[in-house]
Structure 1
Amino acid sequence: MVKNFKDDIYRYTGGTGLTAFFKAWRNPGFRFILFFRIVSSSRKYSLRWSMAFPFYRHYFIKYGIQIPTSVKIGRGLLLPHFGGIVINSKSKIGNNCNILQNVTLGNSKGGKKAGSPTIGDNVYIGPGAVIVGGIFVGNNVLIAGNAFVNFDVPDNSIVLGNPAQIIRKDSPTIEYIGWRIHI
């Protein structure tokens, strides 16, 4: 868990010391992720869980970041803008992901792609994007703002539009995901 904290701090500030922590603390997305990680890694009703859960719930409501503690999130998640982020409880998110405001990772109850999305590593999800169904978004993918994605996305792609279209490009997220952690 400590490694996850350091990686999250690094994604927000480019550093990992105490000064970097206080700099990251100014960002509401970081505060939410900090308490999310504490609550999701603690045994329910333990002392640590009991102390962190009220803060997690407070930021959940205050900032409109609806990420249940059952969501599997990799290291270095960045939420630079808060508000309107809704993620289904069965979704999975990889390392070095950026999720901007008004993003939905939703469940599809029927059809060929029933289930919740799995997001790979080094993925940038732009504002207003909707990703729905039991799909896999590959590594190094940029999903543009307001894109509607309900199909699998291969690695090294840019997804844009509604209905979404895929454009292949080597390292499309290189300019969008700064201060990457190396796994």
Structure 2
Amino acid sequence: MSEKTIIQKDFYRESGAYLSTFQIWKKCINPNLHFIYLLRIAQKYSKKSFAGMFWRLVLRHFQIKYGFQIYPETQIGEGFYLGHYGGLVINPKAKIGKNCNIAQGVTIAQANRGKNEGVPEIGDEVWIGPNAVIVGNIKIGNNVLIAPNAYVNYDIPANAVVMGNPATFTLNENATLGYINHKI
């Protein structure tokens, strides 16, 4: 079996099947998948090359159209899934692991001062609910569910469910069970 591309792995999360290039194009009618496709293409090229500048310009157009503020510099693992489109902001220095789901209204931001100055690092198999805010130089472990409207500004261990403002967490081995489908 041939090696799957990162785009095929991202689209696998939505469909549960590895798709051909033509099948991927057909699914790009969905704004979430279309944006992921353009993001991955822009990430492929150096920003100083002509192709890189072209794809960044195309991506910028669709950032504005769909409301996703995700830049090609952002390190995002394979199996990335956007649940809904609109109002999503991710700092370009943030790191996101594989098989992560991010819903609408989420902010993953940099703290500019204080003890957590910096950007978040998010582990594998993390589900982030609508309107959650993750800010500062913090680490989110693997298999973490961040509930809608949670405000997270401190480290979260693996296998946890996070909720509230300010956030609190409880340990749970099955934190993302049923929330993250079609894992790579």
Same fold (TM over 0.5): yes
1:93 is displaced (CA, Å) by 0.4
- The Cα offsets for residues 13-47 of structure 1, whole Å up to 9 and x where unpaired, read as 11112365245323211111111111122022434
After superposition, residues 64-83 of structure 1 pair within 5 angstroms as: 64-83=67-86
The correspondence for 2:19, drawn from 5, 17, 20, is 17
Point out the more displaced range, 65-74 or 136-145.
65-74
Output the CA distance in 1 between the equivalents of 2:23 and 2:170.
36
Which one is further off, 56-65 or 151-160? Answer: 56-65
Query: What's 2:8 paired with?
Result: 6
For normalisation by structure 2, the TM-score amounts to 0.92
Counterpart pick for 1:42 among 42, 45, 55 = 45
Tell me the distance in 2 between the aligned counterparts of 1:80 and 1:147. Answer: 17
Distance (Å, rounded) in 2 between the aligned partners of 1:20 and 1:9: 10
The alpha carbon displacement at 1:51 in A equals: 4.1
Asked if 1:116 corresponds to 2:124, the answer is: no
Aligned residues: 181
Query: More deviation in 12-21 or 158-167?
Result: 12-21
Q: 2:30 aligns with which of 23, 27, 31?
A: 27
1:86-101 pair list within 5 angstroms: 86-101=89-104
Identity of aligned residues (%): 45
Equivalent residue of 2:115, what SS?
A: coil
Of 150-159 and 163-172, the range deviating more from structure 2: 163-172
CA contact (8 A) 2:142 2:159 kept: yes
- Structure 2 gaps of 5+ residues are none
Structure 2: which amino acid aligns with 1:104? T
Pairwise CA distance, 1:147: 0.2
Q: Give the partner amino acid of 1:10.
A: Y
Structure 1 unmatched runs, 5+:
none
1:55 shift after superposition: 2.5
Distance 2:29 2:125 in 1: 24
TM-score after normalising by structure 1: 0.93
Coordinate RMSD, CA, aligned = 1.7
- Deviations along 1:93-143, one digit per CA (max 9) or x if unpaired, are 000000000000011111111100000000000000000000000000000
Contact 1:148 1:164 (C-alpha < 8 Å) held by counterparts: yes
1:129 maps to which residue?
A: 132
Q: Is the 8 A contact 1:9 1:20 kept in 2?
A: no
Q: Distance in 2 between matches of 1:158 and 1:80?
A: 19
